[in-house]
Structure 1
Amino acid sequence: MSTAHRFDRGHTDDLISFLAASPSPYHAVANTAARLEKAGFRQLAETEAWDASAGGRFVLRGGAIIAWYVPEGAAPATPFRIVGAHTDSPNLRVKPLPDTGAHGWRQIAVEIYGGTLLNTWLDRDLGLSGRITLRGGEHRLVNVDRPLLRVPQLAIHLDRGVNDGLTLDRQRHMTPLWGLGKAEEGDLIRFVAREAGVEAREITGWDLMTHSVEPPAYLGRDRELVAGPRMDNLLSVHAGTAALAAASASGALSYIPVLAAFDHEENGSQSDTGAEGPLLGNVLERSVFARGGTYEDRARALAGTVCFSSDTGHAVHPNYAERHEPGHHPVANGGPLLKTNVNQRYATDGGGRALFTAACERAGVPYQHFVSNNSVPCGTTIGPITAARHGITTVDIGVAILSMHSARELCGADDPHLLASALTAFLEG
């Protein structure tokens, strides 16, 4: 008998819905905001004055959201407990002049975003999502969630050595097609305008990208796995949102719990909505000052602040076990990961390990360790950036998955709930 289904699957069912409804960072932020509003949080504008009242609030900027809950009687120097994550995933993004084609095919010019596993986008039915900007600056979400585009692979008859090694040119081989005929300037935007119910001349800007239209689903003999897109890192955004809502309803809090979900992690975090930008620091500082704090209070609050940087990590791959560190083999449904790298690709140290262990013990969930094979370069997260930029204790954690950066990734069905439980215990302090 399988050991799966040990935990309530309601959280994972909701994660599946969240993934399906969030094909772009902008949709992920909108869906996160809707969940927080349902939990009693209210949106603040960055351009308006903030007050000292208790309760939950959040700010939105593009593909990023920062949310926090101020308990009754919180002092100006009360430290924060932060769950950090990111909303973006590797994919194919539409270029400024998108209409192209050749030899009787209409195509869409795309730019590769992030560390995309290119071959996973071949022969896959793709939709189109993101946002459009109208005259006057209004943003509207767009989601064409049906088979619209496809990147066709070359037939084996025309590339007899393809199974000995596939080489894809990012410029020549990754352009999706979406119809027959001659490319016409403005064709894509006219189509998007019809889908959005606006006039094409009203669209003056856009941030559009492709996504796989195959829905996420349970997988396996006992449905103990979940396959789906954008788990890196919407799985953590979803878990962090659930944890923040739960912590805000838990009663007395010793800290101010925060969710910081950034954009642009997959290409370095250097943007106004990325972890290396000023957004989080501004929010934390304004929260201190809104409660009557001084610069001294700000320094004291940050000195006692801890961030759990939550991002997916690598489960041991049964077909490539030699690529993993032999003494550390994380498995699906084994609980959240503690990620360590002494060269500061992850921010975890011994003190951070103790904090993570305490949160997992309080939540009653198992946990695992991840460290890279010395011969395989280690990836990184928002963790080291957050620690260095704000001078706060940061711990890198996550969930073990397979096929990271694929158009469709794989995790254990129990792990999302286990992560959310650990994050809730952490935020509750």
Structure 2
Amino acid sequence: MNPQPHFGRGHTDDLAAFLTASPSQYHAVASAAERLEKAGFQQVAETEAWGAEAGGRYVLRGGAIIAWYVPEGAGPATPFRVVGAHTDSTNLRVKPRPDSGSFGWRQIAVEIYGGALLNTWLDRDLGLSGRLVLRDGTTTLVNVDRPLLRVPQLAVHLDRGVNDNGLKLDKQRHMQPVWGLGEVKEGDLIAFLAEEGGVAAADVVGWDLMTHDVQPPAYLGRDREFLAAGRLDNLLSVHAGTAALAAVAGADLPCIPVLAAFDHEETGSESDTGALGPLLGNVLERSVFARGGSYEDRARAFAGTVCASADTGHAVHPNYAEKHDPTHRPMPNGGPILKVNVSQRYATDGTGRGIFAAACERAGVPWQSFVSNNAMPCGTTIGPITAARHGITTVDVGVPILSMHSARELCGADDPFLLAGALKAFLEG
């Protein structure tokens, strides 16, 4: 990769295709696995013994994927280089009894997932996606990628002060989408989705379903210098990490490159597939032990391991510049950002900053710094969790975007390619 302005659009085109194919975290890990398999990676089961041979492999669990490449000659104490990211995005999630409605309208009962900008889900054409869990314990993915639902906003004639007093939405009363007219029938939505997924409705015993904006990703701006799309937070980083890992597979490396894409970051990461769970630690330890390592080797490997927690960050907003730190105002297409917060909402310290800055220099990629305005609460990532749980050096990085947690976000069209180039150099050790 030799980044040059507008020369990375093939990568961004592929990101757009990845986003379209990944309306849910379950689709995202399937899309990542498909790309890794083309690079020679093979899926392994957590319930089976793992071999010591070199090569690429990955495990899938729900909406999480952990993939790694063992180079020829890697020893049991060989350290890891980890790109961490998350697969989930804020949206509207379907409740256990989804069929509802009133006054002749048929509606779908939904919960709010994560810190969604609620107003951005109004008056949009929404599809439904996710997974259906069958009676035999298997799952099937479903994706209705056409206009199916809509959360209608109240007309200005019935809310005369909305433009002066601000829009106030009740999460329970105002966010339930409509999808038809007529009598509400229990089981109707799941029967419809079972037919869409090619399974019998009677076999469906559980589901994890969510809305998505069906408008496809698009280049925007006079010179098409922006990309507008849903789920940039954080599938942009998952895609960049997948591309970087596939690019280094087969190389003679001093480390073992890893992609760790977790679920549930937007709700705190506290799950078996979240960064607070044991999944990453189990995979790394098993890799050490499969190569004949001891607990001492595991400790040595972890001591030399570095993680780049890749998540989107805030570009300076031209209409709200006062919300940003006056000396740290990242711009689109300026390269990835190094995120710092001394209260450990981000994990970056001087050591991690030096490691990632050196990777950017090797890749020929510009980079920027980000800190929050002191008067504004700072968000967080999987970075501090990963550092604390596994005792590994971690640096928080990402791409600056606008409209974070909106149904449709905006980034610089060159930045996804620049991030992938920096992550590739980072994984090379």
Please give the range of the TM-score, normalised by the shorter of the 2 chains.
over 0.9
The match for 2:65 is 65
CA distance in structure 2 between the aligned counterparts of 1:50 and 1:166, rounded to whole angstroms: 55
State the 1:5 CA deviation.
4.2
Counterpart amino acid of residue 223 in structure 1:
R
The match for 2:332 is 332
State the 1:7 CA deviation.
2.5
The DSSP-based 3-state class of the residue aligned with 1:157 is helix
1:193 correspondence with 2:194: yes
State the 1:120 CA deviation.
0.2
Counterpart amino acid of residue 17 in structure 1:
A
CA distance in structure 1 between the aligned counterparts of 2:318 and 2:171, rounded to whole angstroms: 29
The match for 2:178 is 177
Q: How does 1:168-317 map to 2 (within 5 A)?
A: 168-249=169-250, 251-317=251-317
The DSSP-based 3-state class of the residue aligned with 2:209 is strand
CA distance in structure 1 between the aligned counterparts of 2:6 and 2:93, rounded to whole angstroms: 39
The match for 1:421 is 421
Counterpart amino acid of residue 228 in structure 2:
A
State the 1:196 CA deviation.
1.1
CA distance in structure 2 between the aligned counterparts of 1:409 and 1:243, rounded to whole angstroms: 23
The DSSP-based 3-state class of the residue aligned with 1:257 is strand
Counterpart amino acid of residue 23 in structure 2:
P
Counterpart amino acid of residue 214 in structure 1:
Q
Q: How does 1:23-422 map to 2 (within 5 A)?
A: 23-164=23-164, 165-249=166-250, 251-422=251-422
Is the contact made by 1:230 and 1:408 (CA closer than 8 Å) also made in structure 2? yes
Is the contact made by 1:228 and 1:410 (CA closer than 8 Å) also made in structure 2? yes
CA distance in structure 1 between the aligned counterparts of 2:263 and 2:375, rounded to whole angstroms: 30
State the 1:72 CA deviation.
0.5
Counterpart amino acid of residue 407 in structure 2:
A
State the 1:356 CA deviation.
1.0
The DSSP-based 3-state class of the residue aligned with 1:362 is helix
TM superposition score normalised by structure 2: 0.98
Counterpart amino acid of residue 63 in structure 2:
G
1:30-60 C-alpha deviation (Å, 9 max, x unpaired): 0000000000000000000000000000000
The DSSP-based 3-state class of the residue aligned with 2:69 is strand
CA distance in structure 2 between the aligned counterparts of 1:185 and 1:276, rounded to whole angstroms: 36
Is the contact made by 1:5 and 1:224 (CA closer than 8 Å) also made in structure 2? no
CA distance in structure 1 between the aligned counterparts of 2:330 and 2:396, rounded to whole angstroms: 15
State the 1:6 CA deviation.
3.6
CA distance in structure 2 between the aligned counterparts of 1:237 and 1:72, rounded to whole angstroms: 26
Is the contact made by 1:122 and 1:151 (CA closer than 8 Å) also made in structure 2? yes
1:121-180 C-alpha deviation (Å, 9 max, x unpaired): 000000000000111101000000000000000000000011120010000000000000
The DSSP-based 3-state class of the residue aligned with 2:396 is strand
Counterpart amino acid of residue 202 in structure 2:
R
CA distance in structure 1 between the aligned counterparts of 2:183 and 2:72, rounded to whole angstroms: 63
The percentage of counterpart residues that share the same residue type is: 79
CA distance in structure 2 between the aligned counterparts of 1:246 and 1:196, rounded to whole angstroms: 33
CA distance in structure 2 between the aligned counterparts of 1:56 and 1:190, rounded to whole angstroms: 39
CA distance in structure 1 between the aligned counterparts of 2:5 and 2:227, rounded to whole angstroms: 12
Counterpart amino acid of residue 226 in structure 2:
L
CA distance in structure 1 between the aligned counterparts of 2:45 and 2:341, rounded to whole angstroms: 38
The DSSP-based 3-state class of the residue aligned with 1:163 is helix
CA distance in structure 1 between the aligned counterparts of 2:350 and 2:199, rounded to whole angstroms: 55
The Cα RMSD (Å) is: 0.7
Counterpart amino acid of residue 46 in structure 2:
E
State the 1:267 CA deviation.
0.1
State the 1:327 CA deviation.
0.4
CA distance in structure 1 between the aligned counterparts of 2:342 and 2:88, rounded to whole angstroms: 26
CA distance in structure 1 between the aligned counterparts of 2:376 and 2:182, rounded to whole angstroms: 46
Counterpart amino acid of residue 139 in structure 2:
H
Where do 5+ consecutive residues of structure 2 fail to align?
none
The DSSP-based 3-state class of the residue aligned with 1:239 is helix
Structure 1 runs of 4+ aligned residues shifted over 4 Å read none
1:54-91 C-alpha deviation (Å, 9 max, x unpaired): 00000000000000000001000000000000000000
State the 1:181 CA deviation.
0.9
Counterpart amino acid of residue 423 in structure 1:
L
The DSSP-based 3-state class of the residue aligned with 1:357 is helix
Counterpart amino acid of residue 181 in structure 2:
L
The DSSP-based 3-state class of the residue aligned with 2:259 is strand
The DSSP-based 3-state class of the residue aligned with 2:93 is strand
Is the contact made by 1:99 and 1:184 (CA closer than 8 Å) also made in structure 2? yes
Counterpart amino acid of residue 191 in structure 1:
F
1:212-256 C-alpha deviation (Å, 9 max, x unpaired): 00000111111110000000000000000000011113x210000
Counterpart amino acid of residue 200 in structure 2:
E
CA distance in structure 2 between the aligned counterparts of 1:37 and 1:353, rounded to whole angstroms: 32
Where do 5+ consecutive residues of structure 1 fail to align?
none
CA distance in structure 2 between the aligned counterparts of 1:38 and 1:137, rounded to whole angstroms: 28
Count of residue correspondences: 425
Give the stretch that moved more between structures: 193-202 or 219-228. Answer: 193-202
CA distance in structure 2 between the aligned counterparts of 1:372 and 1:327, rounded to whole angstroms: 10
State the 1:8 CA deviation.
2.5
Counterpart amino acid of residue 248 in structure 1:
A
1:76-129 C-alpha deviation (Å, 9 max, x unpaired): 000000000000000000000000001110000000000000000000000000
Counterpart amino acid of residue 428 in structure 1:
E
TM superposition score normalised by structure 1: 0.98
CA distance in structure 2 between the aligned counterparts of 1:6 and 1:212, rounded to whole angstroms: 27
CA distance in structure 1 between the aligned counterparts of 2:199 and 2:245, rounded to whole angstroms: 36
CA distance in structure 2 between the aligned counterparts of 1:107 and 1:407, rounded to whole angstroms: 20
